[in-house]
Amino acid sequence: MDLQRLYSANMKNMKRSAIRELLKLANKPGLISFAGGLPDPGVFPLEAISQITAEVLAQEGDTALQYGLTAGEPRLRRALAKWGAAQGLNLTEENVIVTTASQQGLELISKMFLDPGDIVIVELPSYLGGLNAFTSYRANLVSIPLDDEGMKVDLLSDKLKELQGQGKMPKFIYVVPDFQNPAGVTMSTERRRQLLDLCYQYDLPLVEDTPYRELRFEGQAPPDLLKMDDKGHVISLHTFSKILFPGMRLGWTIAPREIIDKLELAKQSMDLCTPSFTQALVRRYMERGLLEPQIERIIGVYRKKRDAMLGSLDAYMPKVPGIHWTRPKGGLFLWVTLPKGIDTQKMFAQAVDRDVAYVIGSAFCADGSGENSMRLNFSFPTEEEITEGIRRLAETVKENLA
């Protein structure tokens, strides 16, 4: 069969990611990988989940194993609204839709807003899964660089003015404001304010994707964009993937009611409903007050791993101009920049020869830049692996400097 003739324009536009091919190389015994974005399975609360699973089956098996409502199980929506309200958000369950993790939220938002050729403003670098969701609807991505305080809103302001002049206004702005994937940086309060003001000025939705917000190791959190927004521009994506575990595929989106209604419509043809069973498990887990201590436990483990990675980078990386890395106060990742001229894609095979892997920076840069950078994950490897892996990585960098 000539399948090429049959594929949709959207399908033809989807590209197999270069990093997938690279990471196949990294699939060898003894290799220490900083490439994934996986939580540490050692923190999964197996005992509590096993007990709650038995209870759900015994006490509410008839509904937990049944189809559910597209917008989510009503008691879980209520629990999520309560959780948001406890953090100062002004919301009810009508502002919440349960999704099959936050990746589905990104897909639903794309489905709701994007026609081929539409513009989406993204950070440089940005979350690859977000970029892929938008481009699968054939959006054009316009990247705005970030620094240690998040997206550079002065550049955003210039870009919006330029796009307006060309009659090409974007459909929305997408940011990961807390412990960003991939850069590890957090947007400052002042930048958040300026970003929102620009969204008001140009009448644009702001998509806040914040899976790592709760995983803060130190310092005071700036307010959520959702909390700062009093005009209904923010759509806020959340997930249990990093604060509990990702295997349940459970997340939620908070937005004005009109948007929630459209997301629900878009979701109906996608999966009818998010699994009722996992929703029942998490609702009980939350109602029992187990989520807060679980988050504290995760923070304790990841803080130590972050410290191990920063300590090893300080100890082993060559001290030459042009080498620097972010110092995240939470989350799962940090971002290393090497001197111009070192191409982390070319360096990858040498790193794998030394049994260490990372993700090349250009994978996260919608404009193809970032060739001298890389993302390192510290949540999955053990502290010992982090120390040894960074030592190997530093040797690889030294070889390239020479």
Ligand X SMILES: Cc1ncc(COP(=O)(O)O)c(C=O)c1O
**Among 173, 176, 183, 374, which residue interacts with ligand X (rule: CB under 6 A)?**
176
Q: Does 312 bind ligand X (CB under 6 A)?
A: no
Indicate the SS3 state at residue 229.
coil
Binding mask 187-226 for ligand X (x = CB under 6 A): ----------------------x-x---------------
Residue indicated by tokens 């594929």: 7
**Among 33, 143, 181, 236, which residue interacts with ligand X (rule: CB under 6 A)?**
181
Exposure class string for 61-98: b at 16+ Cβ within 10 A, else e: eeebeeebebbbbeebbbbbbebbeeeeeebebebbbb
Q: Does 37 bind ligand X (CB under 6 A)?
A: yes
Closest listed residue to residue 333, CA positions, set 59, 37, 125, 70: 37
**Among 246, 330, 381, 389, which residue interacts with ligand X (rule: CB under 6 A)?**
246
Shortest gap between Cβ of 36 and ligand X (angstroms)?
9
Q: Does 101 bind ligand X (CB under 6 A)?
A: yes
Task: Identify which of residues 103 and 362 has a Cβ nearer to ligand X in the complex.
Answer: 103
Rounded Cα gap, residues 332 and 13, in angstroms: 30
Q: Cβ(235)–Cβ(96) under 8 Å?
A: no
End-to-end CA separation in angstroms for the chain: 53
Q: Does 339 bind ligand X (CB under 6 A)?
A: no
Alpha-helix runs per DSSP H in 14-152:
18-25, 46-64, 74-86, 101-113, 128-136
Rounded Cα gap, residues 116 and 135, in angstroms: 9
Size of the site for ligand X (CB under 6 A): 14
Q: Does 103 bind ligand X (CB under 6 A)?
A: yes
DSSP per-residue string spanning 3-48: GGGTS-HHHHH----HHHHHHHHT-STT-EE----PPPGGG--HHH
Q: What is the dihedral of CA 180, 183, 184, 186, to 10 degrees?
A: -60
Task: Identify which of residues 68 and 182 has a Cβ nearer to ligand X in the complex.
Answer: 182
Shortest gap between Cβ of 3 and ligand X (angstroms)?
29
Shortest gap between Cβ of 186 and ligand X (angstroms)?
13
Stretch that binds ligand X, among 40-48, 101-109, 183-191, 314-322 (CB under 6 A): 101-109
Q: Does 311 bind ligand X (CB under 6 A)?
A: no
Stretch that binds ligand X, among 21-29, 39-47, 95-103, 392-400 (CB under 6 A): 95-103
Q: Cβ(205)–Cβ(173) under 8 Å?
A: yes
Site for ligand X in 345-374 (CB under 6 A): none
Q: Does 377 bind ligand X (CB under 6 A)?
A: no
**Among 36, 74, 129, 256, which residue interacts with ligand X (rule: CB under 6 A)?**
129
Shortest gap between Cβ of 246 and ligand X (angstroms)?
5
Rounded Cα gap, residues 357 and 348, in angstroms: 7
Shortest gap between Cβ of 330 and ligand X (angstroms)?
13
160: part of which helix (H) or strand (E)?
Answer: helix 153-165
Footprint of ligand X (CB under 6 A): 37, 101-103, 127, 129, 176, 181, 209, 211, 239, 241, 246, 251
